[in-house]
Each structure stands twice: as C-alpha cells, then as structure tokens.
Amino acid sequence: MSVTQPAAERVRVSAEPDWYESAGISLGVRVGNLVFTSGQAPIDAQGATVGVGDFEAQARQALANLSTVLTNAGSSLAEVVKATVFVTDVAQQDIFAKLRAEHFPDKPHLAESFVEVSSLANAEWMIEIEAIGLVR
C-alpha cells in the first residue's frame, strides 16, 4: 500500500520594504514548518551596503536581516537548524564565532557551513548568510 500526501504549499516570505524584490528573488520561502532563506547580505532596507570594509558591522547587519526574514515567516534565530555562511576572507572566522555565540546561544548548536568564496554579488560585501529555520 502507498500513501500519497499532498504537496506542501510554498509561501513567499517578504518584508516592507522587500530588499530583494527588485532582484526577482524571495527573501525566503516557507514550506510547511520549514523556512528557507535566501542569502542575507549586509544591506539596509533600501539595499545600501552597511559597514563597507568592516566585517563585524556587515555580519551584524546580515544577521539582523536574517532575523527579520525568519520572524516574518513565523520563525526566529533561535529556531535555525542549519546556516551557511559565505565570507570573502576565512580569517574572519573568529569574529563570526563571537557573533554566533551571541545570536545562536542555545543547544544543541545549529549545523553550520563556513565557506570562503572569491566574491559575493556585490564587491563591497564581505559576508552573506542563508539559513533553514523551524516554525513551531
């Protein structure tokens, strides 16, 4: 016997203003009790880069954007189960470890990949963070 379940509906997650609308992508997508975010960059609500040349300022902005997207989807940073962090300089890992401890203190710790890339979508960006979160 086989059981067929209906496909879960995909719901676009947005913000006001939606800083990724002009790029034709969603800030995130919620499917059932999971939220999948796009990579959150160090930009303000108008799309301007924050903290040019300052990794910690950029990381804090990317985390704030990630928090907004998750909250708008009914989740939160506390509900993140997997994050992928893209950086242009892996030597910034210690700074990010400090921020991770501030923003994701709960145990069990989230699963994370920390990846150095040669560049991001904007040459001023030093970090981009995407995540998968739960909606309870």
Dihedral angle sign, alpha carbons of residues 2, 5, 78, 45: positive
Tens digits of residue pLDDT in 51-62: 999 999 999 999
Query: DSSP secondary structure string, 93-113?
Result: HHHHHHHHHHH--SSSPPEEE
Residue 89's CB is within 10 A of a number of other CB atoms, namely 11
Specify burial of residue 3 (Cβ count, 10 A radius: 0-12, 13-18, 19+).
exposed
Would you say residue 3 has pLDDT above 60? no
The per-residue DSSP string of 40-98 comes to: BPSB-TTSPBSSTT-HHHHHHHHHHHHHHHHHHTT--GGGEEEEEEEES-GGGHHHHHH
Chain segment 114-125, per-residue pLDDT in tens: 999 999 999 999
Query: Mean pLDDT over all residues of the chain?
Result: 94
